Amino acid sequence: MCDKQSDTERGENTAPIESTASSQANNAMVEPRGEAIARKVSQFSLRFLGVAVIFGIGVHFANQKYWPYKPITRAKSVLLEAWDVGGFAPENAVGKAPENASRETWTAHHPDALLAGYRAVLGYEPKSGEFGMWIFDSSGAKVHERLLNYDVQDPDGPSGGSEAPHAFHVMKDGSVIVNSDKGDVMTRYDTCGEPMWSRKGSFHHSFAADPRGGLWTWHGEVTAFDQYQFLTRFDPETGETIEEISLIDDIIDTSSENRTIFTIVPGKGFEHYKGRHVVYDRFHPNDLEVLRPEMADAFPQFEAGDLLLSFRNINMVAVLAPDTRQIKWWSHGPWIQQHDPDFTANGEISVYNNNGYRGESSIIAMDPQTRQVRTVEIDPDFRFYSQYMGKHEYLQDGTLQITVPYEGRAMEFDKNGRLLLEINNIFNEGHNAFISDYLWLPEDYFDIAPADFACNNGQPS
């Protein structure tokens, strides 16, 4: 009884105690409404602040272009371009083909009118995904091709982000000297595409043979876009410098007149390299040509060996005596952001007028004595546009060669502007691949026929 009573009493007494404890616990778990709101606001604020800090850091890194800004930006650009052109390629290596561009690599519209000889092309090779050069014979047969092994002499890769070549000089033994705008070496490649010699430095835009021997090219202080630039004459056999002229020290700063010609206001100085694209690209020299002895009589105010120079960012073309550093002639315009001025046999200076941001380029010719100008007429159905780069050349029979890099084609016109030949570097049905340079070479130019070069078509012969 006592035990039973005790149990009953224990049961009666414990039930209310458990209920009270549970109620107190539940009450303790109920947070006042104001405190709950404050806690949530605090958590949200911390998260928002964290996101804002991360976003701010990202904006700062983007503005300052810190790592990994460049690789991310480059990857984005490559992906967007691949989507646009229907395949992967280096940045700017593929562009939309003009609507009337032939979809054959070689299209001779008037084969009987073509000047016999080889045509050499420098550009992006779509099948291999590499940059290289190839040679056609007079019939349009591709008799040689080679890839240019840039990585061999610059294993760290181009500091400017692209190994795309700009200009080439073809030697009689079939080797080729190549420079670039964003790479870090100038190289002579053999017929297998392997380096014979290589020079570190930003040698860029063009080559021109000097009647005294050697080749001229531009050489930037560190990059092709620096203010301190040099005209460098070098031995093509070895790559060694023969002569060098400083654009600023030997030409611009020698007189107030020269400073005025180069649009430098009094008291304005120049900046050395401080980092890629940090210093303003004031002049952007992009070509030099040599007045050859056989053409000198057409230019009585100049002498054989004088240099014809182009400065894109001040729309200026000038003639320089390399021995005295005297500026003999100059003109700002009427071309805009021009490339590749040439001496021509009729005594004119012809200029590749990029006419930047205006949608149509042209070839302009000027008489340096009278300053009379004209636009060279070509078939209006084959007008062209090159925002950047571009080359042209008059052949010995009067044929006009025009290279349009980002349209991926080279064309030849006769004296009446009739299209004779077009070469398209086909990427796919709607797009062409980049062509940077294009040369005509006589049939007897090479020591051995290109079809017999070692490593022809990338394979040992």
36 belongs to a structural domain:
no
pLDDT of residue 366: 99
13 belongs to a structural domain:
no
60 belongs to a structural domain:
no
**Phi, psi for 170 (deg, rounded to 5):** -95, 125
Q: Please tell me the number of Cα atoms within 13 Å of 219 on its side-chain side.
A: 19
Q: How far is Cα 114 from Cα 137, in angstroms, rounded to an integer?
A: 11
Residue 190 in tokens: 């053999």
Residue 26 in tokens: 């539940």
69 belongs to a structural domain:
no
Contacts of 126 (CB under 8 A, 6+ apart): 89, 94, 425, 426, 427, 433
- The answer to whether 166 touches 181, Cβ cutoff 8 Å, is yes
pLDDT of residue 91: 84
Closest CA to 82 of 94, 72, 73, 70: 94
108 belongs to a structural domain:
yes
Q: Is the peptide bond before 71 cis (omega within 30 degrees of 0)?
A: no
Q: Structure pTM?
A: 0.82
**Distance (Å) of CA 442 to CA 120, 183, 393, 396:** 11, 30, 14, 10
3-state secondary structure of 54: helix
> Per residue of the chain (461 residues), what is the pLDDT tens digit?
444 444 444 444 444 444 444 444 444 445 567 676 766 667 677 777 877 777 777 677 667 667 776 667 656 666 655 656 667 688 889 999 999 999 999 999 999 999 999 999 999 999 999 999 999 999 999 999 999 989 888 999 999 989 999 999 999 999 999 999 999 999 999 999 999 999 999 999 999 999 999 999 999 999 999 999 999 999 999 999 999 999 999 999 999 999 999 999 999 999 999 988 889 999 999 999 999 999 999 999 999 999 999 999 999 999 999 999 999 999 999 999 999 999 999 999 999 999 999 999 999 999 999 999 999 999 999 999 999 999 999 999 999 999 999 999 999 999 999 999 999 999 999 999 999 999 999 999 999 999 999 987 555 44
Domain of residue 215 covers 95-458
Total of domains in the chain: 1
pLDDT of residue 7: 42
* CATH code of 432's domain: 2.120.10.30
77 belongs to a structural domain:
no
Q: Is the peptide bond before 16 cis (omega within 30 degrees of 0)?
A: no
16 belongs to a structural domain:
no
262 belongs to a structural domain:
yes
Contacts of 254 (CB under 8 A, 6+ apart): 325
pLDDT of residue 85: 65
Q: Is the dihedral of CA 330, 335, 337, 342 positive or negative?
A: negative
The phi-psi region of residue 262 (left if phi > 0; otherwise alpha if psi is between -120 and 50; otherwise beta) is: alpha
